[in-house]
Amino acid sequence: MVEELYTPEQLAQMHNSLWQCVLQFANLSATQERNRIARDLHDSVGHALTGLNFQLQTAMKLCKLDPNQAQEFLTEAHRLVAIATQEVRQSVKGLRNDPLAAQSLEKLIESLVHDFYQTTGILPEVEINLPIALSTHLTAPLYRIIQEALNNIHKYAQATTVQIYLYATSTEVYLTIKDNGRGFDTGKVSGGYGLRGMQERVAVLQGDFQIESQPEKGCYITVKIPMQISHISEIPKISELSNLSVTSEIPFPQESVSLSQPQPVIIGEWQPLNLDEWQGF
């Protein structure tokens, strides 16, 4: 057996190359973590602030005409501030404890639907058929995609109906989100951070994200993600993502679970936010 020997110079060069690889991996991991936090902040805090803006604008319009109803909108605004505060607190702490991990995807979607209904007065039609509980690597991205889609519908679509369908087979998870809003030209879409974030979440999971829309004809988003992936891939550049394109409808199974109509949230007396809790962050 021939023993391979290296000169001190060769060993130093190999050590330097290995160290450079370590630094590159560390930088890549840090970049991916920053991108993840940025997406989560945009989706979660952005969702709460969009609703907050609506509640405050409505309260301002009603403050003289109907003070009691204006107070109801202010109370809901206070609840949304508390939600945004909690989301920011979790992000500042590095999101060490995932707030989504302890709940099923069905419960998380029900909460999103309730918030959307409270803010817009539109109760989405939701059908879910998940034979088994999804793993955590799928739950959070699907939740964030639905959250961002509802946020976009609220801000831009001027829709009156929204449909959310989610089901899984033994190999894949399917999600579709459809609204009857004003739509847009997919050939001219600017690719804002929200849309890019949805694309990135699906791309990381080696899935397929497509959107169909035309002016005055609503919007139809389809997502297909494998139940098992070979590895968590690096987030691709936005230029590498597939272009927006028309997708054929996915056949849904006959049996599905519909979420119940959300119940009103009872909020106690108005309590100012305790800003002292931010000390030490």
Distance CA 165, CA 174 (A): 8
Flag whether pLDDT at 261 surpasses 60: no
Which range marks the domain in which residue 147 is found?
A: 104-261
Do 45 and 85 fall within a single domain? yes
**Same structural domain, 134 and 84:** no
Q: Exposed e or buried b for every residue in 109-144, given b needs 16+ CB within 10 A?
A: bbebbbbbbbbbebebebbbbeeeebeeebbbbbbb
pLDDT at 33 over 50: yes
Predicted local confidence at residue 192, as pLDDT: 66
Tens-place pLDDT, residues 139-186: 988 998 999 999 899 888 999 999 999 999 989 999 999 999 999 888
**Which pLDDT value is given to residue 186?**
84
| One domain, residues 172 and 245 | yes
Q: Are residues 226 and 111 in the same domain?
A: yes
Instruction: Please say whether the beta carbons of 205 and 138 come within 8 A.
Output: yes
Q: pLDDT, tens digit, for every residue of 52-109?
A: 888 888 889 888 889 898 888 898 888 888 877 777 776 665 555 555 667 889 999 9
**What are the pLDDT digits (tens) for 148-160?**
999 899 888 999 9
- Whole-number pLDDT of residue 94: 52
Q: Are residues 202 and 145 in the same domain?
A: yes
Claim to verify: residue 187 and residue 243 sit in the same structural domain: yes
Neighbours of 97 (CB within 10 A): 9
Residue keyed to tokens 């909020």: 267
Residue 245 clears pLDDT 50, i.e. is over it:
no
